[in-house]
Structure 1
Amino acid sequence: LDVGAEELVAAVEAAAWGDLHGDGSPGAVDFTLNPAQEPDLPHLAPREAEVLALITEGLSNADIAQRLYLSINSVKTYIRGAYRRIDVQTRSQAVVWAMQHGIGRPGQD
């Protein structure tokens, strides 16, 4: 329980990418069956992918609306569409899915 924020974020990111040991070794076993290995990704509309990327950066719906010059209802519509296409039901599931598929890593602009 004595872990800094940076170390915690690094561990979560490593786990999302299938590196359960967090050491980045090439021999790390991917127990998560990381979907980034799969060639067929669901077709996301460009705006859905953009909104999903901003979600992975930790932005709220209001922040996304402001950044993209959209109404809050439009943002919610894009989120619902993206969730339906990637078959997730929660924001945290969407973030994990997006990270596994290379959409908007946290801290990216």
Structure 2
Amino acid sequence: MELENKIVIVAGGASGIGAAIAQLAAAEGASVVVADRNLVEARRLASTLPNGDAFALDVVEQSSIDALVSFIETRYGAPGGFVDLGDVNNGAKRVSNLHSQRTETPKPMMPTLVPSAT
């Protein structure tokens, strides 16, 4: 199992592609944190995973990102990888709404994938 003893965070992981990635990572032995704005669905999915956890996350709010980092470091230590699917699932609407309020396109606050150094 390639992800055994790794922690994988899937932002936007409560449904769709994110849920599939969370399930695959868990099947490969990872502890998976399903991070999503929809905490009810994140908890539902996490409860089906061998080592699943859920976290309420809004990737456009820096305070939410900071809280996730603190949660991960306290509970697990350094993560093995991070997958941000927020833009795949809701990005078009979010960018459209933000664009109407701003004159520039918002920059992502988190990279799409951050592999661990180990």
Assess same fold via TM > 0.5: no
Q: Which has the larger radius of gyration?
A: 1
Give the TM-score, by structure 2 length: 0.28
Q: Larger % of strand: which?
A: 2
Higher relative contact order (CA 8 A, sep 6+): 1
Q: Larger % of helix: which?
A: 1
Give the TM-score, by structure 1 length: 0.29
